[in-house]
Structure 1
């Protein structure tokens, strides 16, 4: 069964397109990818097929009947439309051929996809036509095969299982015969090749937040594209399900939820240029990171080779996408505080309130939104579009959880819910370490379930195969010793592992106690080691001015780091967790889990005191020492 993008065909598709969609899905191999009406270089081919042993095939689909065809030749077709008038159009095969050439000419810009030492692609590509209302006997009777060779045609009785004489193997057999260009050496497309093809043809699947502008030399640019990053197919499908009313995405930490949301925002802005779009989250730093990510996506050229030319920036104020954290939106758009929401909801219920209207609303960190916040946003949503996207991970809940989305905002997400269970952010070691801790300490562990999303509270993560060092656990006799180790470790990672300072974060639970200023110790140690830093959570202004790519180590509370990630993360002063003044320990469990899953590659847990969490870490360190040492060593 082939992988379809989108996974279900839109309602606007013709009956014939639906038959072909289901036939391709059912009768092509599972490692084939089939795109329905993707936008590529300003064109919209009906179907694009990519397969490891196939290459690329473009299909043009027509629902012509015998009565439609008036006069045809190899180049132009004269057709009779529904009103009886004659209209001239390009030959369907010529349309498919032109689309294939536009697509493949673009791919030839990537030297990694070319034959060694040549200028042609290292894999075959072809094109063909599908006539969903004409059978093979029609083609024979009316001599249509003289205009389009049979090798480039699929007829109704070759794609429809309900037709007499249909047999399943014919679909793949005919598609494999639609090639006109064959490389001298038959190559099987690798996973990296297919990623590269998707990366070039579908800009919306690029993980733009991780894309760094390469040097201004074409050979180096092409070489840099060898290590490209794209969404996986499941993420891409979620992002491409546009305008289909309200949707809920639940995902584990690091599963790309924010990426899917940002990509969906970009695609909605592109396909619905008149729409007013609102993107909200809970934390200020994440709102700034989200805004920077969306702006990068909007500014990124369709053709990455355009990066060789000076970029023309898009004026953010001209974009129809507003990005805020919730309380900032309240202040800026409604000129009110959270305490005023209940009165406003009463007025809205009586249709007496004047509220802004948005055609699409997207919410990240949905698990932290209060019921009244969601009700208010429900009143601001255009009733004609009903385009609400709610993204959440209940394992990252740090506030009292609403009970029911249906009760809270009156929207039923059954059948409109998706799960992202694969953690792409962290290494397998970090995923397992963080999840082991969560399962050990969470009171919600009985709600951890596999399977359908309906009723799920917590989604167990699946890790990618990306490996890395084991999380490093270190205890010290004093906070000064602890911070000296942190600063030296940062220096090592920066100099020896080439990790940029902006990809390193220090996370803390509380900034001081009645005895000690933890934040002062952190800053003093970094200053002594001449390491530049930005204290993101110093005050409201520093949060609002947060720039992810600024060349400095980021210092933040754990809860303000939600939604962000860094190659190396240091969680210091772990003995302050669980925080004794926090009544609900479950919140502390979630916070520590959130902090650990901010780390892409390196995770350091340091402490110079004792607590319930450090006792757990001591036990882990003891078990490690009893085994053959396998943890990562610095130096």
Structure 2
């Protein structure tokens, strides 16, 4: 993936039926903004309440000059729109009978601008635009229907700005057409041109790094030797975590299959996994998700991180509730007073769970591997989860003599406990 392409983050593959029009819009945004200093997101995780469900914006663009742009896509034909009254659109022969696309985009934009306003140097300085995109409707069709005369008609991107109707229209001109339309759209919130430092801060805010920023001490102690390892760590802790594009892909994307995250101790892997788990849970509240870890001391830290990310992605409306949630932080083994991953599988399989005293191994990871091997031999493993995220994965690996049929026992148990993602690719699981 090129550096230009990496700034466009597709949080979940666009492969569902009926999303061809949405993909067309996303590709058009790629082309129009590829040479600009920006970030683009397909389904950025800021979930607003829409009826019984929560929905994220279809497209979010953070641009160094244009600020924040939210685009809500409605892949309807002109004949499917029955009426538009105020912000309410009524449909026929569509998956829903009504919608408020512009109001929804506005609400999501305001939520994001609210996070910007928490940073003094960004407060009321970021432009904000909201648009509705109709990829199956031309501007001419819209005019013939008379919708352009409506007083509440929002800024609209039509099919004309997305792809060429004639070979005589150069692609560069087409891309400029979309960009110029967005530039000419009157901002809902009028901001200012951002400095390079403000742009860096805006990227950090969009990535969510203020969620885990620690409060600065009133009188920070800075070592005299500015080049020592300790002094560098002190300076790092005193500043907002800088935006990291690679971590943004890891934290925001929900892959269709297995994914491995590497990093040294203290590099933020736990935070990224909590972010990813919270995103999955809000996007797919019906999914059973396990966030597994090896150190019991991590339990409360992970609960705290999950709560922070859920609130961040829901505009403060959703927190972590262990009694209600289908998102479960689980210690790899478990205890009498607290269910763990292994003990949960045992219970579901109808097998008595073992403890350390039932094994020959002295090391905790080896003892866990032993009981996992026995469970794999004795029982059919039930497919309990849609996704399993494993932290401290290196602590769950054992030497070759403890492997189960050449595989790492704990990881093979986790794989077996996952539901199939696609019937056409039964080997694919979200691990």
Please give the secondary structure, in 2, of the residue aligned with 1:49. Answer: strand
Give the distance between the partners of 1:27 and 1:251, measured in 2 at CA: 34
Equivalent residues in 2 for 1:48-67, closer than 5 Å: 48-67=60-79
1:190 aligns with 2:196: yes
Equivalent residues in 2 for 1:36-185, closer than 5 Å: 36-40=42-46, 42=48, 44-82=56-94, 87-90=97-100, 92-105=101-114, 107-114=116-123, 121-147=124-150, 152-161=155-164, 164=167, 165=169, 167-181=174-188, 183=190
**Match for 1:16 among 2, 13, 21?**
21
CA change 1:8–1:159 in 2 (3 A) is: farther
Residue 348 (structure 1) aligns with:
376
Q: Tell me by how many angstroms 1:71 deviates.
A: 2.7
Please give the secondary structure, in 2, of the residue aligned with 1:130. Answer: strand
Give the distance between the partners of 2:374 and 2:188, measured in 1 at CA: 67
Residue 605 (structure 1) aligns with:
none
**Match for 2:290 among 277, 289, 295?**
277
* TM-score normalised by L of structure 1: 0.47
Give the distance between the partners of 2:372 and 2:106, measured in 1 at CA: 58
Q: Tell me by how many angstroms 1:65 deviates.
A: 0.7
Equivalent residues in 2 for 1:606-621, closer than 5 Å: none
Give the distance between the partners of 2:186 and 2:391, measured in 1 at CA: 45
Residue 379 (structure 1) aligns with:
413
Q: What is the RMSD computed on CA atoms of the aligned residues?
A: 4.4
Q: Tell me by how many angstroms 1:56 deviates.
A: 1.2
Give the distance between the partners of 2:249 and 2:261, measured in 1 at CA: 12
* TM-score normalised by L of structure 2: 0.67
**Match for 2:389 among 340, 354, 362?**
362
Larger Rg: 1
Q: Tell me by how many angstroms 1:127 deviates.
A: 1.5
1:261 aligns with 2:262: no
Please give the secondary structure, in 2, of the residue aligned with 1:302. Answer: helix
1:301-330 residue CA offsets vs partner (Å, 9 max, x unmatched): 7369x99xxxx9966997843443569869
Give the distance between the partners of 1:89 and 1:246, measured in 2 at CA: 36
Give the distance between the partners of 1:275 and 1:296, measured in 2 at CA: 19
Give the distance between the partners of 2:93 and 2:81, measured in 1 at CA: 9
Which sections of structure 1, spanning at least 5 residues, go unmatched?
A: 115-120, 216-224, 388-409, 418-635
Q: Tell me by how many angstroms 1:171 deviates.
A: 1.6
Residue 302 (structure 1) aligns with:
311
Which sections of structure 2, spanning at least 5 residues, go unmatched?
A: 50-55, 219-236, 345-352, 360-365
Residue 224 (structure 2) aligns with:
none
Q: How many residues are aligned here?
A: 359
Does the 8 A contact of 1:207 with 1:231 survive in 2? no
Give the distance between the partners of 1:316 and 1:141, measured in 2 at CA: 54
Greater relative CO, 1 or 2 (CA 8 Å, sep 6+): 2
Give the distance between the partners of 2:131 and 2:304, measured in 1 at CA: 37
